[in-house]
Amino acid sequence: MGESFGTRIRYARQVYGMSQAELARRIGITPGALNQIELEKSHVYAERIRDVARVLRMDARYLLGLSTDMTDGQKQ
């Protein structure tokens, strides 16, 4: 589990077929800000992690590198 937080967000976003612009819109930030997060050039607050996990319907522990399971147990 050596992937970075930004790499995990990018991978999860792509798995769900969502563009950076769409995810950024849904969590209330600019596409540029999301790009900076994915490139590990920006600090990420817990609120953003929660928002990304909610929008992508995944376990926030996956984004943090604490789990290899992307699902949050909710039906899609």
Q: Predicted confidence band at 16 (pLDDT cuts at 50, 70, 90)?
A: very high
**Whether the predicted pLDDT of 65 surpasses 90:** no
Q: Predicted confidence band at 75 (pLDDT cuts at 50, 70, 90)?
A: very low
Q: How far apart are the first and last CA of the chain?
A: 25
Whole-number Å distance between alpha carbons of 75 and 37:
27
Q: What is the mean pLDDT of residues 60-68?
A: 89
Q: Predicted confidence band at 38 (pLDDT cuts at 50, 70, 90)?
A: very high
Q: What's the CATH architecture for 5-63?
A: Orthogonal Bundle (1.10)
Whole-number Å distance between alpha carbons of 3 and 34:
17
Sign (positive or negative) of CA dihedral 30, 34, 39, 42: positive
Output the six-digit token pair for 22.
Answer: 């769409």
**Whether the predicted pLDDT of 5 surpasses 90:** no
Helix (H) or strand (E) holding 31: helix 31-38
